[in-house]
């Protein structure tokens, strides 16, 4: 009789271990998926930042060529060309309304190139719910500033 009682409690312990394993495996897989999503987002951000820097470099010599700056940004990375029309490129002066070389109040004129990706899709569907975005996307933005080298201010 004692032997049957021990065997019964032993089987229950195996069931308990299996439930604990299932719960922990689920949590572990959610964490791994979140890390993969974060790594993808970081890679996209770094590609956007590099493309913004390339656009700012081009804008330092041709600050009024908005179409050329945008083309330079889009062609700077295969990642951005794969995103297609989803990204927005914004070119703006950093000091005054003028896009020219010179200084105002001792501060050199510069140009800021900002690359926006307003709807970066998350691979893990639950992550959007956790961070409060029902559509499963997050905005990613990167910018770079460069000093205008030419043309000189009038």
SS (H, E, C) the chain: CHHHHHHHHHHHHHHHHHHHHHHHHHHHHHHHHHHHHHHHHHHHHHHHHHHHHHHHHHHCCCCCCHHHHHHHHHHCCHHHHHHHHHCEEEEEECCCCCCCECEECCEECEEEEEEEEEEEECCCHHHHHHHCCCCCEEEEEEEEEEECCCCECC
Assess whether pLDDT exceeds 60 at residue 5. no
The pLDDT of residue 83 is: 73
Give 98's pLDDT tier (boundaries 50, 70, 90): confident
Give 120's pLDDT tier (boundaries 50, 70, 90): confident
pTM flag (> 0.75): yes
Average pLDDT of the residues in 96-105: 79
Selected residue with higher pLDDT from 138 and 1: 138
Assess whether pLDDT exceeds 90 at residue 39. yes
């Amino acid at each position: 009789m004692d032997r049957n009682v021990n065997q019964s409690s032993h089987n229950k312990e195996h069931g308990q271990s299996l439930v604990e394993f299932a719960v922990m495996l689920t949590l572990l897989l959610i964490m791994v998926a979140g890390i993969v999503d974060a790594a993808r987002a970081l890679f996209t951000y770094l590609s956007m930042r590099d493309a913004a820097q390339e656009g700012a470099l081009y804008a330092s010599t041709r600050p009024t060529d908005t179409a050329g700056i945008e083309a330079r940004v889009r062609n700077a990375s295969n990642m951005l060309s794969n995103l297609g029309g989803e990204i927005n490129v914004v070119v703006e002066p950093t000091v005054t309304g003028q896009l020219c070389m010179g200084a105002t109040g001792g501060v050199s004129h510069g140009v800021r190139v900002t690359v926006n990706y307003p709807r970066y899709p998350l691979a893990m569907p639950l992550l959007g719910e956790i961070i409060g975005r029902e559509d499963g996307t997050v905005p990613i933005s990167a910018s770079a500033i460069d000093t205008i080298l030419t043309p000189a201010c009038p």
